[in-house]
Amino acid sequence: MTNTLFDALFAPLGARDDAFLILPDGATMTGRAFLALVARQAHALRAAGLGVGDRIAVQVAKSPEALAAYGAAVALGAIFLPLNTAYTAAEVDYFLGNATPRVFLCDEGARPGLQPVAERHGARVLTLNADGSGSLRAAAQGQPETITPAPRGPEDLAAFLYTSGTTGRSKGAMLTHGNLLSNTEVLREAWRFSDRDVLLHALPIFHTHGLFVASNLVMLTGGRMIFLPGFDQEVVLRLLPQATTMMGVPTFYTRLLDDARFTRDLVGHMRLFISGSAPLLAETHRDFEARTGHRILERYGMTETNMNTSNPYEGERRAGTVGRPLPGVELRVMQDGAEVAPGEVGVIEVRGPNVFKGYWQMPDKTREELREDGWFITGDLGFVDADGYVTIVGRAKDLVISGGFNIYPKEVELLLDEVPGVLESAVIGLPHPDFGEAVFAVLVARPGVALAPEAALAAIRDQLARFKQPKAAVVVAELPRNTMGKVQKNLLRDRYRTWFTA
């Protein structure tokens, strides 16, 4: 019997005596050594009671050992559940109560606060620290360096990823071996990854971007990763000359552009820069190309689907769009139960082998968002142009309905972002006694600029219908973002909720 993910991603590492991971201090780990680490951890986790179909929840710092824990779970036929390292004990309590993992892996320093939470939900606690130490390492010492993986097929579950939960409790998206492998195989061809690539990996691995896109892709193609614990500008600038590719969130690229050392010469050898997890401003896209000569490749994915669309590797990469559907992925834009014409805005739905199996222990939510014929209702609003390029205009939950008219925040934000002195903007709807909702803008000024909100609104007045114009605006130091760089509009709505009603 085979194990779909293990056989494709991890087993080939055993034949590699070259560097698989390149660490910030210059140390390397070969593929063979990494696979041996995976095997030792798998034996240790099996001894701790982890088996086929069990869940292992992991809230630890990024390290080679943390990545190996993913491989160990795959080898055992368990379900891997990575958790954001920023989650509090109260948030972890929900995830452990919902997923009921057999094992919970956490940092030794966090153990006092998390041990009671884990015990309440029947999970055995093991520790793994940023330097690789902890009870998992101790349990893995002396264990065999090979393992026969548990039989797992394409339809078997490999991972749970929990949604951000900005509109209710987080939902555990159930991802299969086939979901993850099919998407990785498509990306290999779409982005031309090979064993010659060295990926600069500064993303977290508790998220689909860093784990199931970046790491899976390098393992499948036999490449190498410069494996950084996070985005440290000094380290990234020092190690970029060793890389051929980089994946990042928009914040990575804006920070690099703010540094005079980030030059065309520094990245002249690079093959590809990829951006995702949050929208990339068209201005950033243009500035990056002017500075480096590279056009960032932007793509679109979700927790429930991995990657859905991508700008082309060869061909026009259009700023402000997320490209066309990937091979094997169907995409349609729906409104009132019917597919809309090109250029019209609606809710994006996708179908394909990348689409998840459903939400763990939430059959009603699954039926609401995953149709019986396989179409997943993403909740993203967008349109497809005449050339097939997809543009995301916002989340359906962010749609503003003012006086009975629909307003798409992205349309207003694009205009505000072009106003002199505005660095970026976020447009939200707030309760209004007359209109139900009113458009409200939150602005961030460029460094050194004294931005008057009234002047910014006046600058776009002639470019928008009256009902679309923000009725008020504020200037803030920065927009609230999650760890992947997405603006948290729910926090803005909460902060300014009474602006028009107080």
The 3-state DSSP class for residue 329 equals coil
Predicted confidence at residue 58, as pLDDT, reads 98
Most confident segment among 251-255, 339-343, 465-469: 339-343
pLDDT tens column, 347-402: 999 999 999 999 999 999 999 999 999 999 999 999 999 999 999 988 888 888 88
Write out pLDDT tens, residues 197-221. Answer: 999 999 999 999 999 999 999 999 9
Q: CB–CB of 478/444 below 8 Å?
A: yes
CB burial string 278-315: b at 16+ within 10 A, e below: bbbbbbbbeebeebbebbbbbbbbbbbbbbbbbbebee
Q: How many CB atoms lie within 10 A of CB 467?
A: 15
Q: What is the pLDDT of residue 159?
A: 98
Reply yes or no on whether the pLDDT at 165 is more than 90. no
Mean pLDDT, the chain, rounded, equals 94
pLDDT, tens only, 59-95: 999 999 999 999 999 999 999 999 989 888 988 999 9
Tell me the residue ranges of DSSP E strands in 336-446: 338-339, 346-351, 358-359, 376-384, 390-395, 400-402, 405-407, 422-432, 436-445
| Per-residue DSSP letter, 160 | E
Integer Cα distance of 499 and 502 in angstroms:
6
User: Domain 399-495: which CATH class?
Assistant: alpha beta
Task: Summarize pLDDT for 468-478 with one digit per residue, the tens.
Answer: 999 999 999 99
Q: Which CA distances in Å does 459 have to 405, 408, 425, 430, 464?
A: 22, 19, 14, 22, 10
* Two domains, one topology: 198-395 and 399-495: no
> Which pLDDT does position 167 carry in this prediction?
47
Residue 436 has pLDDT above 90, yes or no: no
Question: How many CA within 13 A on the CB side of residue 386?
Answer: 0
The model's confidence at residue 168, banded by pLDDT at 50, 70 and 90, is low
For residues 368 and 371, give the distance between their C-alpha atoms in angstroms, rounded to a whole number. Answer: 7
DSSP string across 196-221 = T-EEEE-S-SSSHIIIIIIIHHHHHH
Distance separating alpha carbons of residues 200 and 233, to the nearest angstrom:
12
Residue 165, classed as helix, strand or coil, is coil
* CATH number belonging to domain 4-153: 3.40.50.12780
Name the residue ranges covered by the structural domains of the chain. 4-153, 198-395, 399-495
The pLDDT, as a whole number, for residue 166 is 45
Say which DSSP state 152 is in: B
Taking 3-state DSSP, the helix, strand and coil percentages for the chain, each rounded to the nearest 5, stand at 35, 25, 40
The pLDDT score that the predictor gives to residue 396 is 84
Q: Which residue has the tokens 């000569």?
A: 293
Per-residue pLDDT tens over the stretch 227-239: 999 999 999 999 9
Instruction: Say if residues 159 and 180 touch (Cβ distance below 8 Å).
Output: yes
Average pLDDT over residues 21-39: 97
Q: What is the pLDDT of residues 86-127, one digit of tens each?
A: 888 988 999 999 999 999 999 999 999 999 999 999 999 999
Q: How far apart are CA 370 and CA 411, in angstroms?
A: 28
Q: In which element (H, E) is residue 259 found?
A: none
Question: Would the pLDDT of 315 be above 70?
Answer: yes
Task: State the pLDDT at residue 466.
Answer: 86
CATH code for the domain defined by 198-395:
3.40.50.12780
Q: What is the pLDDT of residue 486?
A: 85
* Weakest mean pLDDT among 271-275, 283-287, 483-487: 483-487
